[in-house]
Amino acid sequence: MLVLPVALIAQRPSSPDTGETAEHPPSSHPAYDRAHYWRNFAAGFASSILLHEAGHVITSYAVGGHPHFGFDHARPTIYSGLDVTQDRYKQFLFSSAGLNVQAIADELILDIPHRRGSPFERGILAGGVATAYFYATIGRNASNSDITFMARTSSLSKTQASLIYAGIATLHVVRVARDDHYTDFFIRPGPDGNTRVGVSKIVSF
């Protein structure tokens, strides 16, 4: 199960290309008033996880593998269909592909100019960050962990691989925290539009 990290979301004056001002902060965006906020957030989160798995599958086919689905100690797992001892480099590409795809997706969201801050977009960002932190911490030592296989098939240790992906995720958290479009990152609108869960400038639960 993924552990969703709590990101400290700060407020600052809006960027000049959006037309938003301090008098009209992101929390007044129409997306905050929709009844299906959490549904859209969850859809974005799930899409991020699906991107992760698609990255594994596509990479396996790209390097000549035959990916298949199975279970490892009752845990659902996608296998590369590669010989780890003979195709170490290909296996490394397969094992790193999921986290790489999520990191790239989050980077594109944060880099490409567009109307930011939708619940679906927030879910994608949260999914990418949560997955990276999960694999860098409690998921790093599992027998079928991406981090475990990256360490087995490269010169990286588990700690080094974990720090790389946790570092990228942390940079994304910092960027989100500095972008006023993502103010009150985890929020459930109430009848008055003020009911919030998570963090604003200080942590609240």
Q: pLDDT digit string (tens) for 8-55? A: 333 333 344 444 444 444 444 544 555 678 899 999 999 999 999 999
Alpha-carbon gap, residue 51 to 93, rounded angstroms:
15
Rg of the chain, C-alpha, whole Å? 19
Sequence ranges of the domains in the chain? 30-204
Q: At a CB cut-off of 8 Å and minimum separation 6, what does 82 contact?
A: 60, 63, 64, 65, 90, 91, 94
Sign of CA dihedral 74, 80, 82, 88: negative
Confidence grade of residue 5 (pLDDT, cut at 50, 70, 90)? very low
Looking at per-residue confidence, does 124 or 194 come out higher?
124
- 167 pLDDT more than 50: yes
pLDDT per position as a tens digit, 84-119: 999 999 999 999 999 999 999 999 999 999 999 999
Confidence grade of residue 137 (pLDDT, cut at 50, 70, 90)? very high
pLDDT for the residue 160: 97
